[in-house]
Amino acid sequence: MNTFERIAPQARTTTHEGYMPGFGNDFETEALAGALPIGRNSPQRCPYGLYAEQLSGSPFTAPRVANERSWLYRMRPTVQHFGPMEKLALPLWRSAPVVGEADTPPLPMRWGPVPIPGEALDFVTGMRTVCAAGDVHTHAGSATHLYHVTRSMEDTYFYNADGEMLVVPQVGALSFFTEMGVIDIAPGEIAILPRGLKFKVRLVDEAARGYVCENYGAKFTCPERGPIGANCLANPRDFLTPVAAYEDKDGTPCRLIVKWGGAFHASEIAHSPLDVVAWHGNYAPYKYNLRHFSPVGPVLFDHADPSIFTVLTAPSGEPGTANVDFVIFPPRWLVAENTFRPPWYHMNIMSEFMGLIEGVYDAKPEGFVPGGMSLHNSMLPHGPDYDAFMKGSFSPDAPHKLDNTIAFMFETLFPQHLTRYAAELPSFQADYPKVWAKLEKNFDPARPVWDGD
Ligand code: FE2
């Protein structure tokens, strides 16, 4: 049974218990009846003695379509969730590789999966940066991480001031207890945690492994559909934002870790910062089941660009040029006639980091395995390996379903640079470029029709 078969029955339930559907809605939710002020944001005295606090995800004067903020009604204002800050060393979670720490060769690169370590690692201490570009201080670029989790966060909390985090599980389910509610995700689903949101992460299974895109730029949003129209791709109703939930935990040693300006600091406090009893607004975490993505593609001939599989896009400010696109390659029918159906050979200005959640990726049937990853940097060549090329060139011209596959891509404007961690991983496949070595020169000016011989 693949991930999609496991998730599909749950996804067909008629309600979303614990979640509110919609993308970018102006939500309102309260975990205690009457906790949410009605008709105003900051009454003179909030119900139940709560404090009102605004969390802004955009400048106050951003255009209405991009203006995001929420009002949180909490037991203590966030200023009380800070104590003296001590610098925390998390050298494997990088915001940008130090120049010269590792060579980033101008070659396609690929890694096998990294085994989940035996040591105790939570979602923060288990974060390992693979590559990055840009700058947290200028809100441009992103970092790509692997996470390995063997321990839940119980009294440890975290927030990331540098970027929003897109979490792509590959092994094991996780439960994110955030200020604004609880998000549970399993492989085949994703979660998006906005910049500035406090949360802790609990294991649901024995251990967990996956990928994270830390987006320093503008928030992810749904791509325009253009001539596709009002439906298909990722539909807004399939994005789920949690209802309010809180911890009323006092007198217990708690620790808040903050990522700010590329550095980590920790503060000891005596209460849980997850004390938001009610909230309303459009700046909130959400999850999405990739099984709900409705792919669109060629129905007669030729091969569309992979942008048709964009789930979420984080704009750069330049029209059509994403700071990061999150793209998936889900199960789908291939029906194009007289067409080379696998992805073609190409060089792109964008950089492509790929991961495989499960199954087989059609352009790389060997070597690219679930939990693995590849990096095809800006203006570096790649495409189908020899077997995929031959199969794509000579398969019967009949409809064919790609099944048991779910790969994804973080496609970014900026060339990516490796961390030393990634460059020295034992699972690095130094011989990856050899997957194209068997491709032969088939050109023969005397034979206009190539039959493979
Ligand atoms: Fe590519």
Distance from Cα 379 to the centre of ligand 1, integer Å: 10
Distance from Cα 440 to the centre of ligand 1, integer Å: 21
Same domain, 280 and 323: no
Same domain, 279 and 302: no
Q: What is the mean pLDDT of residues 392-400?
A: 93
Distance from Cα 402 to the centre of ligand 1, integer Å: 18
Cα 192 from Cα 168, distance rounded (Å): 9
Same domain, 166 and 281: yes
**Selected catalytic residue, list 139, 292, 303, 400:** 303
Same domain, 360 and 407: yes
Same domain, 168 and 271: yes
Domain assignment present for residue 126? The answer is yes
Domain assignment present for residue 449? The answer is no
Contact indicator for 249, 235 with CB cutoff of 8 Å:
no
Distance from Cα 416 to the centre of ligand 1, integer Å: 14
Same domain, 360 and 244: no
Same domain, 150 and 206: yes
Domain assignment present for residue 453? The answer is no
Tell me the backbone φ, ψ of residue 4, rounded to 5 degrees: -65, -40
Asked if 417 is an active-site residue, the reply is: no
**Which residues is 5 bridged to in the sheet?**
none
Domain assignment present for residue 3? The answer is no
Long-range contacts of residues 266-269, Cβ cutoff 8 Å, at least 24 apart:
266/85, 266/86, 266/88, 267/81, 267/82, 267/83, 267/84, 267/85, 267/86, 268/83, 268/84, 269/80, 269/81, 269/82, 269/83
Same domain, 374 and 325: yes
Domain-terminating residue out of 290, 319, 352: 290
The type of residue at 228 is: I
Domain-terminating residue out of 290, 305, 320: 290
Indicate which CATH number applies to the domain containing 368. Answer: 2.60.120.10
Distance from Cα 314 to the centre of ligand 1, integer Å: 19
**Residue 228 pLDDT class (50, 70, 90 cuts):** very high
Segment 62-116, tens digit of pLDDT = 999 899 999 999 999 999 998 899 999 999 999 998 877 899 999 999 999 999 9
Same domain, 251 and 345: no
Distance from Cα 328 to the centre of ligand 1, integer Å: 12
Give the residue numbers spanning the domain of 231.
19-37+46-57+64-290
Same domain, 262 and 131: yes
Least confident of 32-41, 171-180, 360-369: 360-369
pTM for this structure? 0.95
> For the chain, how many structural domains are there in total?
2
Predicted pLDDT at 15: 60
Same domain, 269 and 301: no
